[in-house]
Amino acid sequence: MTGSAAVLKRTPFRLAATFTALFAATVVALFAILFLGMTSRLTDQIHVRAQEAMEAFQAIDDERSFHDLAAVVASESNSVRHADFIVELVDKDGRHIAGNVRDIPAADGWIILERAKVQPGSTTGEPDDRFHAIWENVSEGRLLVGSSDGELRRTQTFLLEVLGIGLFATTLLGAACGAFIARQTQHRIDAFAHTLAAVSDGNIKARVPMSGSGDDIDHVGEQVNRTLDHLQKLMENVNQSSSDIAHDLKKPVGRLRQRLDIARRGASTASDFRASLDGALDDLDGIMETFDALLRITQIEAGARRARFANVDLVSILDDVAEIYAAVAEDAGHSLSWADARWKPALVRGDRELLVQLFANVIENAIRHCPAGTSISIALHEEPEGFRAELSDNGPGIPEADREKVFRRLYRLERARTTPGSGLGLTLVAAIAELHDATIALKDQAPGLCVAISFPGAAEAA
């Protein structure tokens, strides 16, 4: 594609050309209205002047005589006004009596006469003048009076010259403004193209620069940047997951191989062989559980469950979770408290099953990793734009340096590596929270940890 063809295909150029064409068309339309209006007004004035002259001549005919009218017509024909007026007086038989034109055919209403035809060889006035004339009856004949349209033609010529200059200046100004706007717009569109090209080349951190104007292009840029942020996060999660899977599954897979090798070489009885196989199956179940959790997290992060969203009540969900896990906490030597003093529902948009999973994972995490005697509490608070659920304990807490890392796939604190689990519980919590546009904050209880999850209300979420 040639350079000129490429330019013609660019949207900003076409918009600029359209803008200039519309601008010029608007100027022409306004001028046409002005031109027609001025022409009509000046034509009316020509008719008024001719009609006034006609009335003056008729008054002489009425008040004096036809002979006096002929004398006045003859005098007017030789006056200084004869270049702008034509007049002819004829008798009842149509014979010319007086006037500066002759042999004009009789007609009803206004007629337009060219000077070159009615005054051939005239040295006065403009040769292109035309006369707007009218015949009227007088006492002993008929009288023709006409007025020149020279002023009308001069005004039309002036307007056309102004139009030419104005249209040229307007088109030039419109083209300059359009080119400037097109250049600015093209520059910003190019920024999108360069950013996306950089991302496709592997620079996942590239972002669309913002102009700061807050216009539609900035709004689209923000949407693109948010998409790229999400894409970067997903890619980082994939990369981190690959590393974590290789690291964390190496040990159970190695243990599984060791069990199978022992069973193959060292089992002397059927019961020993069966025991080795049972241990290997337990290891396989753990590995499959990890992959199931990873698959579930991936599905949630893809947003497929949004189609099932409805208005759900956090109070009802927390009631169910507290009722289920009170006995579990007690069996583990902990205490779980939830006192709902609310008198109305706390409605949010979401998937009830996933929200139950979210709160259950947080409580299970506290039960599993806190020493016996830990107190776990659930609270719900109303906020200006939604609700905040807080799940707190007075256990060992999480070091500040690890609070962001615990939401990563398969990440486990050093002290937690000896306890059962895959390191995906809080990752699932983060994925569910993000799906529901909720934010999670880990706060130090000194001692203990508070997991605060803020949800937008049902109206804001919708």
User: Does pTM top 0.95 for this prediction?
Assistant: no
Structure-token pair, residue 317: 């969900």
Pairwise CA distance, residues 187 & 183, whole Å: 6
Where residue 415 falls among pLDDT bands split at 50, 70, 90?
Answer: very low
Where residue 237 falls among pLDDT bands split at 50, 70, 90?
Answer: low
- How is residue 437 annotated by DSSP? T
Where residue 433 falls among pLDDT bands split at 50, 70, 90?
Answer: confident
Where residue 417 falls among pLDDT bands split at 50, 70, 90?
Answer: very low
Strand order in 96-99's β-sheet?
96-99, 85-91, 141-148, 130-138, 110-114
Statement: residue 80 has pLDDT above 60: no
Statement: residue 249 has pLDDT above 70: no
pLDDT at 275: 73
Where residue 421 falls among pLDDT bands split at 50, 70, 90?
Answer: low
pLDDT at 113: 87
pLDDT at 440: 87
Statement: residue 410 has pLDDT above 70: no
Of residues 442, 434, 438, the one with CA closest to residue 457: 438
Q: Work out the mean pLDDT of the chain and round it to a whole number.
A: 79
Region for residue 90 given its phi and psi (left: phi exceeds 0; alpha: psi -120 to 50; beta: otherwise): beta
Question: 362-399, pLDDT tens digit by residue?
Answer: 898 888 888 888 899 998 888 888 899 888 988 887 77
- How is residue 106 annotated by DSSP? P
Q: Domain residues of the chain, as ranges?
A: 1-206, 207-245, 249-301, 308-461
The CATH number that domain 308-461 falls under is 3.30.565.10
Question: 434-446, pLDDT tens digit by residue?
Answer: 888 888 888 887 7
